[in-house]
Copies of this chain bind each other. A is one copy, B any other.
Amino acid sequence: MKKKRLLVDMDHVIVDITSQYIKWYKDATGTEIERSELLGKPEDLAFPQPRLIRDFLHMPGFFRNAEVMPGSQDVVKGLNELYELFIVSAAMEFPQSLIEKYEWLGEYFPFITWHQIVFCGSKKTISGDFMIDDHFKNLSNFNGEKLLFTAPHNINTHLNGYTRVNNWTEVKGLLLKNLSYS
């Protein structure tokens, strides 16, 4: 039977980019922002000095040194057996991130081959059966099942047609254990 195609986002999904924002923000300003302060705010306006956050996105090492999202490695490894899995990241806005994201994937997800990586600007050309993403703008054009991965910026938004997953244990329950779903 043909495997179903699963598209997995990077930032906020397999990359713990929130912790990286908080860490770099503290290093730059001395101020430690609590995760709770970020809830429900747009990603680029959540910190007291939002311009700093935008600057980080263009700075060498920001993406390369981010930590992996807890639980993502084992579950993605299992999903990679059952599904035709692609990593799809809207990396093109930050061109220096391209090689950093590629190398980061090699470190944390070495079982993902180059055939399975897509770096784009817009995700509207990408088709598949399931997409896991933290941004409505990426999911809204998608033709398959939309799984909204919880991130601080999307915590308060509720829209029809999206299945919210709060962590990788929930993704596992939905896509690995619940075989009737896949």
**Which residue numbers of A lie inside 8 Å of B, CB to CB?**
5, 7, 86, 88, 92-93, 95-96, 98-99, 102-103, 113-122, 125-128
Contact = CB atoms under 8 A, between A and B. Distances in A.
A99 B96 contact: yes
Nearest to A119: B119
Contacts of A92: 102, 114-115, 117-119
B115 A121 contact: yes
A99 B102 contact: no
Nearest to A102: B95
A120 B121 contact: no
A7 B114 contact: no
| Interface of chain A: mostly helix, strand, loop or mixed | mixed
A86 B125 contact: yes
Nearest to A106: B95
23 contacts: A92-B114, A92-B115, A92-B118, A93-B114, A95-B98, A95-B114, A96-B99, A98-B98, A98-B99, A98-B102, A98-B119, A99-B99, A113-B121, A115-B121, A116-B122, A118-B119, A118-B120, A118-B121, A119-B119, A119-B120, A125-B127, A126-B126, A126-B127
Contacts of A118: 92, 118-121, 125
A99 B88 contact: no
A18 to B, nearest CB: 23
A128 B122 CA distance: 13
A126 B95 CA distance: 21
